[in-house]
A and B are shown apart, each in its own frame.
Chain A
């Protein structure tokens, strides 16, 4: 703890504030950890004693105890201002845990249940000829479907989204830009089932095409586009205007400035945004149910005939309602999470590789 300053500099004796030096009593560094441990123990104890069945209640009790005890201890030892600081810090930690717990438990649950049937055969076989109640079968047709549908959707939505964002940030003035921004906002809120219904009525009912992966891709592209526009817009706005001016002042035309200076500066963030948009549509099942129809067999052609996809496969297996199908559903969920995670890692890698360098 703090050492008391004995011969303090001459301060007028009437000074009412007790410690005149710069040192104040502080709680020891290990105090928060100890209080946290005690709070958890007390939470478990009270939970068991009172017969509370839900672990969430135990955690809540522990959290409240932790925040309250930290505040009281700090108020007693360190004074009120420090106590408020401690209160804010404790609340931040509690919120952090609240956010992390569901995430970790979700990952844990999926891995624990999904790993059971996840093997090479599962990844390389379809469900052709497998009865739903039988174990075995695989997810290959769904992986193919997801890759193709998401790939095509990205090929449609990414260029349109990028160019729209460039228009809005670099060129857009006045009414047209406002209208475009408004519709992008509206599109962001479109539920996936509505996007699916739109393509269903336009492509399949009105234009009389049949179910295909491509129809699903178009609905996914509608969902993806506003996300790409938004994230790219934000990234382009982050590029300092001085760089644009520096380039323009060198006599570089505007389009080249955008292409060679603005985009390379923002490419890391743009890629990350793009990957997040892909991750978002990779998990969509509603448009797939409506437009791709679902299939048990491998169909490599996204433009002809029904396909499956990972989210659809999970839904379908779960709906079967037997243990073998449940196992497959969890394993497919694990594959989907892994797919999204790999995408994110790739995005990070690209962002780091392309980020503006400051090293000497």
Chain B
């Protein structure tokens, strides 16, 4: 199920602008890796390079290697569509499909990929919604529109949608930044469960959250406005938050940044 990601010498561009420079790191399987850093330092961009979503942006371009268990995602002949099937993503703002019911939203990934058998689908939808801690709340109204749920429920619906296609890795781009503390707690608990089965990478601005949920933490920084973002260090979360090896990390975490 879960796979390891090895990144080597990765640069990403928006047109002529270099957004991130020379990033190398390893994301361990069956663990939560958190990305922290100031706004504009390229955390989200880097996250999007991990499942080839970066190139969806007009002008988006990537150099370097991303190995998923020794298979280069940017290698010749790799289909971005199958990469994204293997590496799922949850976005900052909940984005359920507005034309679809709750059930259809969860089933969307499978259905749109053309693998459908009704009975099998029922099982998967139930399993995914249970996996996203949403089943109890919505089991009586699966045919109601997904956009009618609350923000936190919508975000868990999006997580259910992402795990329904059984990815190996789950990327989460600030999944709680639009949510209240209770929904945030629900999703953090969920991450703890999900890391048994998936490799999870999460971008967050909330350092307590990084400290709570992640096993390893990567700190990103940028030298100045218009400069590309860089990876400063990556280490065990406990170490990053108690005794980081780089001064900039300590400054950022303790709020003495900038």
Contacts and interface: CB of A to CB of B under 8 A. Distances in A.
Interface of A: 173, 240, 242-253, 256-257, 260-261, 264-265, 354, 356-360
Nearest to A261: B97
30 contacts: A240-B95, A243-B95, A245-B56, A246-B91, A246-B95, A247-B108, A248-B84, A249-B84, A251-B82, A251-B84, A251-B165, A252-B108, A252-B109, A256-B113, A260-B112, A261-B99, A264-B99, A265-B99, A354-B99, A356-B145, A357-B98, A357-B99, A357-B145, A357-B147, A358-B145, A358-B148, A359-B148, A360-B141, A360-B148, A360-B149
Contacts of A264: 99
Contacts of A242: 91, 93, 95
A169 to B, nearest CB: 12
B162 A360 contact: no
B112 A249 contact: no
B112 A356 contact: no
A256 B112 contact: yes
A248 to B, nearest CB: 6
Pairs A-B, 8 closest by C-beta atoms = A251-B85, A356-B98, A249-B89, A250-B109, A357-B145, A360-B148, A242-B95, A251-B84
B17 interface: no
A353 to B, nearest CB: 11
Interface string B139-151: 0010011011100
A359 B145 contact: yes
Which of under 10, 10 to 19, 20 to 34, or 35 or more describes the interface residues of B?
Answer: 20 to 34
Contacts of A245: 53, 56, 89, 91, 95
Nearest to B99: A264
Contact of A360 (B56, B97, B108, B144): B144
A70 B53 CA distance: 58
A9 to B, nearest CB: 37
B85 A246 contact: no
B144 to A, nearest CB: 6
Interface in B122-177: 141, 144-145, 147-149, 158, 161-162, 165
Q: Which of A242, A251, A264 has the most CB of B within 10 A?
A: A251
A173 B57 CA distance: 12
A201 B109 CA distance: 52
Contacts of A173: 58
Contact of A250 (B99, B112, B141, B149): B112
Contacts of A265: 97-99
A360 B153 CA distance: 12
Given A245-B53, A245-B56, A359 B144 contact: yes
B199 interface: no
Nearest to B81: A253
A242 B144 CA distance: 21
B42 interface: no
A251 to B, nearest CB: 3
B37 interface: no
B147 A251 contact: no
B237 interface: no
Contacts of B144: 359-360
A356 B158 CA distance: 17
Contacts of B141: 360
A256 B84 CA distance: 14
